[in-house]
Amino acid sequence: NAGVTQTPKFQVLKTGQSMTLQCAQDMNHNSMYWYRQDPGMGLRLIYYSASEGTTDKGEVPNGYNVSRLNKREFSLRLESAAPSQTSVYFCASSERTGGSSGANVLTFGAGSRLTVL
């Protein structure tokens, strides 16, 4: 029962390099999310996918792209990394979409720590 799996757990990049964070969930959840966590700022939503085939911007989408590859997988891509993107990234998923989706309980992955030099 893996839940939400993120890879890699740690990554160091140089400014301008690109990389993709992978996320997979095995709970048959409809919705998936990418958050970033910075000291003193809680978690901020980057992008989300309410259901397979759809993606939408969150609070801080600039500099990122996402792909909902299938119902299980949701990847986050940094095309040209910047030091401001140094952060801990969390993928999450939830069961419901639509209706009272505000009631969704999120299941989180273990996080990916990214450092951009």
Partner 1 sequence: AQKVTQAQTEISVVEKEDVTLDCVYETRDTTYYLFWYKQPPSGELVFLIRRNSFDEQNEISGRYSWNFQKSTSSFNFTITASQVVDSAVYFCALSEARFGSARQLTFGSGTQLTVLP
Interface residues toward partner 1, by CB under 8 A? 31, 33, 40-45, 48, 50, 56, 58, 88, 90, 92, 94, 97-111
Question: Quick one: 17 or 75, whose CB is closer to partner 1?
Answer: 75
Residue with tokens 């893996």: 2
Q: How far is the CB of 57 from partner 1 (least distance, A)?
A: 8
Question: Quick one: 14 or 100, whose CB is closer to partner 1?
Answer: 100
Question: Quick one: 17 or 113, whose CB is closer to partner 1?
Answer: 113
**Spatial CA neighbour of 29 closest among 107, 109, 112:** 107
Q: How far is the CB of 97 from partner 1 (least distance, A)?
A: 6
Residues 6+ apart with CB under 8 A from 57: 47
Question: Quick one: 5 or 17, whose CB is closer to partner 1?
Answer: 5
Q: How far is the CB of 47 from partner 1 (least distance, A)?
A: 9
Q: How far is the CB of 60 from partner 1 (least distance, A)?
A: 12
How many residues make up the chain in this entry? Answer: 117
The whole-angstrom separation of Cα 75 and Cα 101 is 22
**Spatial CA neighbour of 48 closest among 76, 70, 26:** 76
Alpha-carbon radius of gyration of the chain: 13
